[in-house]
Structure 1
């Protein structure tokens, strides 16, 4: 597990100097504190930081093939590398190390771009072919590992984190289209970033860049749902088989492997299977010092029943606010998902004991775990109505007061899923963005992101359409971003056994009626795990790293939030009067401060909207204003000097 930076240039006289490349590499030392390596060749330069997991002594990178044709830098883990190694040895390849990196370069020598399809794991890879003067880059199927790039004339820069690329750019200008989308989605959808010209390579893609020719990007894999399994008994057997196999592969390591443990079925199932490999596995849990916002008690009960050790910690508001700027710095782009906060702290806790942790990301997207996935079942009664009747009813209901019971239900029932579902999170509406933004772009719509995906799947049922949208947006844009950045912030490798091509091959074949029922999500998965995970977890409602943001913004963090809004240098982007009005409405909502409980469902809860703005403002201070005092306190003087 590592991080890389690099450049390929057509004109060797225009390439970046070695000191800039070294600075770009050192800026991501948290991704690889164990070792550093460089490659300076004709047209191409690589910088690499290494976190040692497998073959601690001989896993150095960049690695050049025995015939000196190929040089590779690689961030990730390939779990089937031993099996691939045996196949390659039979074809005459020899190996000097026990690393997956050497297997990748041999497999690429054998199959070129087709090699990426055979890799089982998480990866961002760059390979330089010195004979043909071609640079290849690839990213794993699900986007577990990051890959940023930007083109400057004929030069192509690339890196594991965006902050490294900013050192090679003259200016960091905000992508205003990305800001529009961020305010809708709470993250910047791929391939865009908040910085103009810098892009992310999308999951399941690879590129070719030949010296003197333009960059070409191709797709080698895309997640598709092809339901053929409708029998619950058949599905449970297959699910158990592939999950157990995936966890066994993900446990391969020369250093101890631990696991995050929440109160939910996803992480608990990972621990249950991991215990079969290592009965002494350590588990880690965090919670907050507020009733209803801690999973520690349930996690400890699960750990006791499974016979594993659980190490836990409670997070205070003061700890949270102190670490928040650092969290946002590590994110590269603003991500307004409060779940990043407990991920940061549980990673910090785990790093005191292990170098590698397992986690349950991806289970919801693959097996239908989000509550919103039950909506098509609730709205089934509208399916018999004609489109014209739906439009009439929708027009009539629009005149009703917004707080009337059932209005939202009818509006959603009369709206095609392609228009009503944009992903797991939706913040500001277009009308709200018009009030918030100083330069609202009427030509930008949330459907700019989702429509191309919906156009590919008109034959899918509604639940599968929702999963498809989330897998292409929410999963790679939010879930895996915070998972990678928060663990790498503490130099710890995160592995996600649910996001395995073997597991997906089964999940993609399940009919929606055994994934989601009127009363349950992840129905097939829960049935499969009965008797494997403790009974109190099997049907437990999903919490998803609960964070008391809405309470804090009314009490402990109100003054902090108000001051941040007032003194932020973002008035050229935002209408601050509107933001302060939202904050006051939220503070004065129907809320009992003594018991920390909202007294009715009609309470004015604008916490998610406010949090997205506050997150952006801190990001702006760090990356746009480049405030030297905050930079020094966030990341240390040495790294701050590189940024500035």
Structure 2
């Protein structure tokens, strides 16, 4: 895994400025920094060596009298199979997936290559004979790809910061800012920086250096055909998982895995244990026992016979990580679970260079609580008039007595006497949700909360179109948006900041396709979500581990905002005021809300949290200009 930077067409910046921009990505690739200048392009690559650690696998990779060039970030898991198709026609100089990818592109072109390769990737391939440049991103968005096009020039990069370093900052995209402030993570293909876009997953750019035309194409998924769940289906899933894990364990560097004790990471660890029992698993625990699952991870590791290392975090650690990660995200990003992901990545990197992760299981097999709860809420509340739902919402949000009655009924009736973690927060969330106006507004309230756009004088935030409120419609939407916008962005940036490659075996093409084609029973059966995964795991670990409810990850937002962030807000405000006249004016409503919060006139600390991360990003942009 690596970082890439390329400029095609008219290049009017200095070589030194290109080097400076590439070095921003040094954590993505600490092992080798490569730059190649050609008549119509300049290419850069920061390498994290995984396959073939020799210089033969360094990039940029140039072939056939400089007629072909490639810069590539990621892994092609089936490269050894593809190499066999080429072995009679090509002499290989390395044992890397990069050279296989390049030769495959030369031999078969972009469309067949994208059809055949399986992995996580973003790459740029230039055929100087025809003047065509092809820039592609993997099917589910594991690897980032930013681009900016103007004045007969195309810049592509693994980091938005590198493009700003070269091109400067052209202003704020207020729609993207509004989306982030509400959701806490970037939405869509636009970024908060005008003129810089993200290539969507499952797509590629064709850029002609003859006409300077740019077009974006999707490479299509197979049509969905529903499959009933039977022993053959389960055997197919088992076979695909075994093969995916086997491919993900292929590396010339030490490999580990993440293990939280949940179903997904436990399933990955179980298949690893069957193939390589010498591997070490890594887990994060918390001094706050309400959220600590390290004992569960210990039990799983003991049953699987694998070694486990655990790092315990407390409040002080979270604050320290918050300070350390100022430059980790090149877009505004406020999902607080990144603090644990970063700590886990740093911890694992002390021993290994690659870790397998259990991410994406919830999106593939409808595993989030909301996939089941939201259809139930909609079914039970859609017949209630909106004005009445708004009254109920207001009572729960503003009346302590009403909230306490609701909490009592929730724990003693619905949960049958069990205590619920962070119940106040859950009640506030429920109260916000039930005031929905329509299906799309319901989903917005689930994912983002309240609409503050009029208060901020920002554009109305993006809302997904939702035709039906069902488990499968919600999980499919998460697979196609939330997964790459939040989860995979978090995993990529935190692992790469640690110079660690994180691999996600569940995103194997065959596994995702099988899950998408499966009937609902594979997703939910007899009240059990992710039933297919739990079936496979049932003979590997005890049932009490499999059937445990999710405990989640909680951050003491209010305490951190009240005690650590106030002075930061002042610094960011002053820096913005002295450096960005237009942007400062646009952000005045944000500072007004922050002031109201510290004056106890406004209490939505999640919004304040999101504002903090946006302003921190703006402060970084100011340093890069």
Normalising by structure 1, we get a TM-score of 0.84
* Aligned partner of residue 36 in structure 1, secondary structure: strand
Which of 548, 556, 565 lines up with 1:561 in the alignment? Answer: 565
Q: Which residue of 2 aligns with 1:39?
A: 36
* d(CA) in 2 for partners of 1:401, 1:480: 33
Contact persistence 1:232–1:524 (CA under 8 A): no
Which structure 1 residue ranges, 5 or more long, are not aligned? 588-603, 627-642
Quick check: 572-581 or 167-176, which moved more?
A: 572-581
Equivalence for 1:2: 2
- Name the structure 2 match of 1:591: none
Q: Which moved more, 1:253-262 or 1:328-337?
A: 328-337
- Whether the aligned pair in 1 keeps the contact of 2:248 and 2:503 (CA below 8 Å) is yes
Does the CA-based 8 Å contact 1:394-1:410 persist in structure 2? no
Separation (CA, whole Å) in 2 of partners of 1:409 and 1:167: 44
Q: 2:304 matched to which residue of 1?
A: 306
Contact 2:375–2:469, Cα closer than 8 Å, also in 1:
no
Change (3 A) 1:610 1:414: closer
Matched, 1:506 2:514: yes
Stretch of structure 1 that moved more, 193-202 or 416-425: 416-425
Q: Give the aligned partner of residue 470 of structure 2.
A: 462
**Equivalent position of 2:276 in the other structure:** 278
1:484 aligned onto 2:492: yes
Deviations along 1:583-642, one digit per CA (max 9) or x if unpaired, are 67699xxxxxxxxxxxxxxxx8x4433321222232222223x3xxxxxxxxxxxxxxxx
CA 1:156 to 1:401, structure 2 compared with 1: closer, same or farther past 3 Å?
Answer: closer
Is residue 426 of structure 1 aligned with residue 442 of structure 2? no
How far does residue 423 in structure 1 lie from its aligned partner after superposition? 8.9
Whether the aligned pair in 2 keeps the contact of 1:223 and 1:468 (CA below 8 Å) is no
Distance 1:376 1:239 in 2: 28
Residue 440, structure 1, aligned to residue 458, structure 2: yes
Aligned partners of 2:293, 2:156: CA distance in 1, in Å?
39
CA distance in 2, matches of 1:513, 1:380: 21
What is the CA RMSD across the aligned residues, in angstroms? Answer: 2.7
| TM-score under structure 2 length normalisation | 0.86
| Aligned: 1:349 with 2:356 | no
1:128 aligns with 2:123: no
After TM superposition, the structure 1 = structure 2 runs for residues 113-512 of structure 1, keeping only pairs within 5 Å, are 113-114=110-111, 115-171=113-169, 173-211=171-209, 212-222=211-221, 226=224, 228-231=226-229, 233-375=231-373, 377-379=375-377, 381=379, 390=383, 393-400=385-392, 402-403=394-395, 412=434, 416-422=438-444, 425-427=447-449, 429-430=450-451, 432-435=452-455, 437=456, 439-441=457-459, 444-447=460-463, 450-451=464-465, 454=466, 462-512=470-520
CA contact (8 A) 2:175 2:461 kept: no
- Aligned equivalent of 1:111, options 108, 112, 115: 108
By how many angstroms is 1:234 displaced? 4.6
Which digits, 9 at most, give the CA deviation of each residue in 1:40-70, with x for residues without a partner? 1111110111111111112111112246421
Task: Give deviations 1:389-448, integer Å, cap 9, x for gaps.
Answer: x5x822444355623579968985986534422497314x22x3323x2x333xx3422x
Does 2:52 align with 1:87? no
Go from structure 1 to structure 2 and tell me whether the alpha carbon gap of 1:62 and 1:192 turns closer, same or farther (over 3 Å shift): same
Instruction: Indicate how the Cα distance of structure 1 residues 205 and 233 shifts in structure 2: closer, same or farther if over 3 A, else same.
Output: same
Report the equivalent of 1:19. Answer: 16
Report the CA distance between 1:333 and its aligned residue.
1.1
Q: Aligned partners of 1:277 and 1:350: how far apart in 2?
A: 20
Q: Is the 8 A contact 2:234 2:532 kept in 1?
A: yes
- Equivalent residue of 1:498, what SS? helix
Q: CA deviation at 1:505?
A: 1.6
Matched-pair contact (CA < 8 Å) for 1:31–1:51: yes
Aligned to 2:593: 578
Distance in 1 of aligned mates of 2:233 and 2:361: 15
- 1:96 lines up with 2:100 in the alignment: no
For 1:294 and 1:7, how far apart are their aligned partners in 2?
Answer: 47
Relative to its length, the structure with more helix (as a share) is 2
1:311 aligned counterpart, secondary structure: strand
1:275 and 1:397, CA in 2 relative to 1: closer, same or farther beyond 3 A?
A: closer
- What per-residue deviation string (whole Å, max 9, x for no partner) do you get for residues 532-574 of structure 1? 2443321122234x13324xx23x6522233334554167413
Aligned to 2:540: 532
Check 1:301–1:319 CA distance in 2 against 1; reply closer, same or farther (3 A cut).
Answer: same
For the structure 1 residues 307 and 513, does the alpha-carbon distance in structure 2 shift closer, same or farther, using more than 3 Å as the test?
closer
User: Closer, same or farther in 2 for the Cα pair 1:255/1:401, shift >3 Å?
Assistant: closer
Three-state SS of the structure 1 residue aligned to 2:394 is: coil
CA distance in 2, matches of 1:440, 1:414: 21
Distance across 2 between alignment mates of 1:378 and 1:84:
47
C-alpha separation in 2, matches of 1:418 and 1:15: 46
The equivalent of 1:594 in structure 2 is none
Q: C-alpha separation between the residues in 1 aligned to 2:433 and 2:321?
A: 41
Q: Which moved more, 1:279-288 or 1:403-412?
A: 403-412
Q: Secondary structure at the match of 2:505?
A: coil
Question: Larger deviation: 282-291 or 535-544?
Answer: 535-544
* Aligned-partner Cα distance in 1 for 2:156–2:445: 28
Match of 1:71 in 2: 69
Q: Deviations over 1:14-43 (max 9, x none)?
A: 532211211111121111111121111111
| Structure 2 residue runs without a partner (length 5+) | 397-401, 407-426, 577-583
Residue by residue over 1:156-181, the C-alpha shift from the partner in whole angstroms, topping out at 9 and shown as x without a partner, is 11111111111112335222111110
- The answer to whether the 8 Å contact 1:2/1:75 transfers is yes
Query: 2:261 touches 2:296 (CA, 8 Å); kept in 1?
Result: yes
Work out whether residues 373 and 521 of structure 1, in 8 Å CA contact, stay in contact via their aligned partners in 2: no
Q: Which moved more, 1:392-401 or 1:517-526?
A: 392-401
Deviation for aligned residue 1:521: 2.0
Contact 2:169 2:193 in 1 (8 A): no
Pick aligned residue for 2:46 from 44, 49, 71:
49
- Distance in 1 (CA, whole Å) between partners of 2:165 and 2:338 is 26
